[in-house]
Chain A
Amino acid sequence: MSSLDSLTLTLTRIPDEDEAFRADVRAFLQEAIREMPAHVRARSWGGYDTAFSRKFGAKGWIGLTLPREYGGAGRSAFARYVLVEECLNAGAPVGSHWIADRQSAPLILKYGTEAQKRFHVPRICRGESFFCIGMSEPNSGSDLASVRTRAEANEQGWLLNGQKIWTTNAHHCQYMIALVRTSGTSQDRQKGLSQVIVDLSLPGVTVRPIEDLSGDRHFCEVFFENVQLGPEALIGNEGQGWEQVTAELAFERSGPERLFSSIVLFDQWLDYVRCPEYATPSSVRLAGKVLTQLAPLRAMSVSVQQRLTQGGSPIVEAALVKELGTTLEQSIPAEIAQDLFSREDDDVPVELLMTLKYVTEASPSFSLRGGTREILRGMIARGLGLR
């Protein structure tokens, strides 16, 4: 039975004190993004807005769970859950600080030296310092352990050579935390990998944005040509890069960002079909189908958050949430298009169709970012004890 324990999640309620935070967040967001049209809000954590992040940081909402002595707000993981859930549902442009808040600052706090913590974390919390994550390379996608970008130890620290690709927001960020090889060759796989913090303003760094199929420029290729890093660039232990990277994955895969990527579109479509003349039986049915799939997923996501809070490492559970969540997120634009264009009347509001266009175009990425569907299914199968 033990291999199935990860499938029996416990119903969990967000504590009242964290739930009480929801009203503050909602009031702030209502004011901050009042003017923003839905097709822009639909970008949610893909939306980039440094001014918004500064305001957000001034509220103390970046690094919400981090210790106060490093500029955080010392609140619980569930408070952050509420914050993120509200931001995504409102369609707040949280992309600038997203990676630094979710991954980089916690990573630095966990593995960094005191000097690294004192230098980076307060700046992140103020919304001044943005991070990207350098994982994929031209020949290392799902097979991440084959990375070739290399940091060679030398007298001044580390000499960095190589290339990263599909790095989200690298052109807007001051820093990258890169997974690089510090010893051995790509045949050594997980051994010999380390994480380094790269100041992207250093000589030898070239960042080129890549236009995506929707016309947005959010991911980049990043070249390193004899980039001299100081000794303090190493984060955590040399050779422990793989363990450090994988330990964070459960946090990345089970959060509200794996359920709500299409929610701005869904809510906008609901507003349309709430008008009695547009509420066809099939649209009512579709609304119910999405609701009855989304609600159990949200309960799963909250329950996995509880396991994380209790110090567990629910890797399989998180993979389940991400797989189911992204599948639902991807079905929403497809089903809404089906509904809107099954009608005789094609006078659908253009603003709704612009949102539909964006989410339709963005949706293939939902099951690529953060581990592809096929990789996740393999992880789940392993967790089920398939030998």
Chain B
Amino acid sequence: MNENDLFADAAREVLADHCTPEVVRAIETEGGAANAAVELWGQLEATGLPDALVLESEGGSQLGLGQVFGVLEQCGAYALPLLLGETMLARAVLPQSMRPTGAIGLARGQCLSDGSVRCALVRGGRVARYVLVQTVESVWYLLPIDKAEISAHALALDVAMTWPVEQAATAAQPVIDADVWTLQACVVAAQMAGALGSVLERTLRYANERQQFGRPIGKFQAIQHQLAMMSEHVCAARMAAQLGCSGTGALPDRLRVATAKARCSEAALAVSESAHAIHGAIGFTEEYDLQLYTRRLHAWRQTAGSETYWHDVAGQALIAHAGGSLDLIRRITDVTV
């Protein structure tokens, strides 16, 4: 929503046309094989955005994270059920020789005693072609999903995956100096900022249109105060998400990501709750689009660490910090812009 953000505009153009609520529903039902998913991913690839963070010398646009925040925000605003953001980060951290085509998911994994690799949870696994896995020992694997044993998970787009030893042993093992949840949380927080904005916008519209007792419900102070509180959360979460997705490089800062993911996850809960309270029963139906965003906000809150996971990370940094907390706050907020 920043002015002159050409990258966000490019994403918005594609998403407005090709990531409609019908498309989101189709992909959540059918996964990456849905025609709509193939077409939407093709459109996104045509914009060049998957290589936005890749070095120019390797054919990318060499943008910094701060320049792609608006793109990720748009992905969230349209509840994009594909892995554009994760793929952008994954392509940036993978060496050129290992970069595959297609969407890349991010996940934590475990190397089992028989040499197989297991991911208990791959967010968006149903719309990925590869998964970039970091094990507990910080060994990284780039694994193709067509070679994985896949089992269903709780949320529509997610799966559990196991790669047998012969696949794991021959897989690409990039050396990456990062934490996979930090990468994923950076992306997801920015997307949450977009989805939070959409939920607020829809709820505001509804409050101005829906009439009860002879006037729009937005005239009632009880509703106005709930909307005011929602807007406070939306504003703070967006600021936090910008901090998490800032800087001129492709790698996020862990403490800033902790701030972003914690704040957005808190906001997700409060904003969804109020949005549903204000919408009443209609917001609770399948056919009304609000649910696409609020269900996704809950899913993203549960992705790559909930708020308390990141409170712990930030808390450890603050306890280890000597001196006043202002200096650590400034470390988080004083980004290169």
Contacts and interface: CB of A to CB of B under 8 A. Distances in A.
A292 B207 contact: no
B164 to A, nearest CB: 38
Contact of A298 (B229, B262, B311, B329): B329
A89 B315 CA distance: 19
Nearest to A266: B325
Contact of A324 (B66, B236, B238): B236
B318 A270 contact: yes
Contacts of B337: 11-13
Given A288-B313, A289-B311, A11 B242 contact: yes
Nearest to A386: B218
A292 B310 contact: yes
A387 B216 CA distance: 8
B2 A8 contact: yes
B324 A378 contact: no
Contacts, number: 189
B218 A10 contact: no
**Which has the most chain A C-beta neighbours within 10 Å: B246, B259, B337?**
B259
Nearest to B322: A274
A289 B315 CA distance: 7
Contacts of B204: 3-4, 384-386
B324 A295 contact: no
Given A10-B2, A320-B231, A377-B229, A287 B315 contact: yes
B228 interface: yes
Given A291-B314, A295-B240, A296-B239, A89 B326 contact: yes
Interface stretch (A125-133, A163-171, A215-223, A299-307): A299-307
Interface stretch (A72-80, A110-118, A153-161, A278-286): A278-286
Interface string A363-387: 0000000000010111011001111
A85 interface: yes
Interface in B282-337: 307-308, 310-319, 324-326, 328-330, 332-337
**Which has the most chain B C-beta neighbours within 10 Å: A267, A287, A303?**
A287
Contact of B1 (A8, A89, A294, A300): A8
Interface in B190-218: 197, 200-201, 204, 207-208, 216, 218
Contacts of A6: 235
A267 B322 CA distance: 10
Contacts of B227: 381, 384, 386
B224 interface: yes
Given A292-B259, A387-B219, A300 B236 contact: yes
Interface string A1-21: 101111111111110000100
A288 B228 contact: no
A14 B315 CA distance: 25
Interface size class of B (residues with CB under 8 A): 35 or more
B147 interface: no
Nearest to A299: B333
Contacts of A293: 236, 263, 266
B84 interface: no
Nearest to A379: B228
B263 A7 contact: no
Contacts of B330: 298
Contacts of A12: 337
Contact of A288 (B235, B316, B324, B335): B316
Contacts of A10: 2
A273 interface: yes
A374 B335 CA distance: 34
Contacts of B311: 285-286, 288-289, 292
Contacts of A376: 228
A7 to B, nearest CB: 4
Nearest to B262: A292
B224 A381 contact: yes
B225 A377 contact: yes
A263 interface: yes
A291 B218 contact: no
B56 interface: no
B15 interface: no
B257 to A, nearest CB: 10
A279 B262 contact: no
Contacts of A270: 318-319, 325
B321 to A, nearest CB: 9
A298 B262 CA distance: 16
Interface string A254-274: 000000100100110010011
Interface of B: 1-2, 66, 197, 200-201, 204, 207-208, 216, 218-219, 221, 223-225, 227-229, 231-232, 234-240, 242-243, 246, 258-259, 262-263, 266, 307-308, 310-319, 324-326, 328-330, 332-337
Interface of A: 1, 3-14, 19, 85-86, 89, 260, 263, 266-267, 270, 273-274, 279, 281, 283-300, 302-303, 317, 320, 323-324, 374, 376-378, 380-381, 384-387
Which 6 A-B pairs give the minimum distances between C-beta atoms? Answer: A288-B315, A288-B314, A288-B311, A381-B224, A284-B315, A296-B240
9 contacts: A4-B231, A263-B326, A289-B308, A291-B259, A296-B237, A300-B239, A324-B236, A386-B204, A386-B227
